[in-house]
């Protein structure tokens, strides 16, 4: 027996004051209404309605059960409506995991406008480069910058693809000049990040060259790499999306602009696409729009 359905049938009988009227209200048959009531009375072990061929009335137990049904069903309906509204309206706490570069260099460009558009969403941002366990750690969505994403149990939406470019501060270029080829790069001060000390640069003609970098500065954080590049410390590689504003304002300039070091994919990851909360959908759509203009 579906007890919740049986309770709704009993409530309809009581309020419609008859089996036929209740069946019409519920868009079902008289026999179905009668069967649900019989199952409910059998499960409860008590008679809820006195009926004969002409009249029906609630028993004393039925009166009490009716009041309880109204309270329970109204609460269930209110909770369902609230959940539906929550699904439709972007609101509530949004827990985001993002790489350090997003939290330190890019957040100021997108967060204020996002929160202005969705004032009912409260952001809890955690910045770390390793991919977290979204479900176990309680995150709604993660942003990641990487190569093509391997198969994953997570839903992945690609936000943008951005080339990895070489840049330096104008002060460094003024002091040390511009390299004219990949081979000349090792005559310059090179700033590197992460585990690899190799740069593979390709051009639009499909030619590529690999350089074993003689790094004068190596770091495990993009923030430090960016600060060193802005200070005139040398030549570094960043995604175009990360340094786009620096290039537009002249804080950095492109080095060997006909070459790139491949590309990086910007992804939004979330646990399940089914019944995606409105707050997650709003954030992912917003970031897709934001990065579309930065790659």
In the predicted model, is pLDDT for residue 85 greater than 70? Answer: no
pLDDT exceeds 60 at position 205 = yes
pLDDT of residue 282: 94
* pLDDT digits 0-9 by tens, 219-260: 988 899 999 999 999 999 999 999 999 999 999 999 999 999
| Dihedral sign computed on CA atoms, order 134, 138, 140, 141 | negative
Q: If you average pLDDT over residues 77-103, what whole number do you get?
A: 83
Mind listing the pLDDT tens digit for each residue in 19-75?
888 998 888 999 999 999 999 999 999 999 988 767 888 999 999 999 999 999 999
* pLDDT value of residue 151: 56
* pLDDT for the residue 87: 60
Per-residue pLDDT of 144-189, as tens digits, reads 888 776 656 778 889 999 999 999 999 999 999 999 999 899 899 9
Could you tell me the domains of the chain?
3-88 (1.10.10.10), 92-161+264-292 (3.40.190.10), 162-263 (3.40.190.290)
Among 265, 45, 254, residue whose Cα is nearest residue 150: 265
């Amino acid at each position: 027996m579906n007890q919740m359905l049986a309770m709704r049938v009993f409530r309809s009988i009581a309020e419609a004051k008859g089996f036929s009227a209740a069946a019409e209200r519920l868009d079902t048959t008289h026999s179905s209404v009668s069967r649900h009531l019989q199952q409910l009375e059998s499960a409860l072990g008590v008679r809820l309605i006195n009926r004969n061929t002409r009249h029906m009335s609630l028993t004393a137990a039925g009166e009490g059960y009716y009041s309880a049904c109204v309270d329970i069903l109204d609460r269930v309906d209110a909770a369902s409506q609230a959940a539906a509204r929550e699904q439709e309206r972007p609101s509530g706490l949004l827990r985001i995991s993002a790489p350090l570069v997003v939290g330190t260099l890019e957040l100021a460009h997108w967060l204020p406008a996002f929160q202005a558009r969705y004032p009912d969403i409260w952001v809890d941002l955690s910045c770390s480069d390793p991919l977290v366990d979204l479900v176990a750690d309680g995150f709604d969505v993660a942003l990641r910058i990487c190569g093509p994403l391997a198969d994953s149990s997570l839903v992945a939406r690609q936000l943008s693809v951005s080339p990895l470019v070489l840049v330096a501060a104008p002060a460094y270029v003024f002091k040390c000049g511009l390299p004219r080829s990949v081979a000349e790069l090792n005559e310059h001060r090179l700033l590197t990040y992460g585990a690899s000390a190799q740069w593979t640069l390709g051009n639009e003609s499909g030619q590529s060259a690999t350089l074993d970098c003689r790094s004068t500065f190596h770091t495990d954080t993009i923030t430090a790499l960016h600060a060193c590049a802005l200070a005139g410390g040398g030549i570094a590689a960043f995604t175009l999306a990360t340094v786009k504003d620096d290039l537009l304002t002249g804080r950095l300039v492109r080095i060997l602009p006909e070459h790139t070091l491949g590309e990086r994919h910007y992804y939004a990851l979330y646990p399940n696409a089914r019944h995606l909360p409105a707050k997650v959908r709003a954030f992912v759509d917003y970031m897709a729009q934001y990065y579309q203009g930065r790659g």
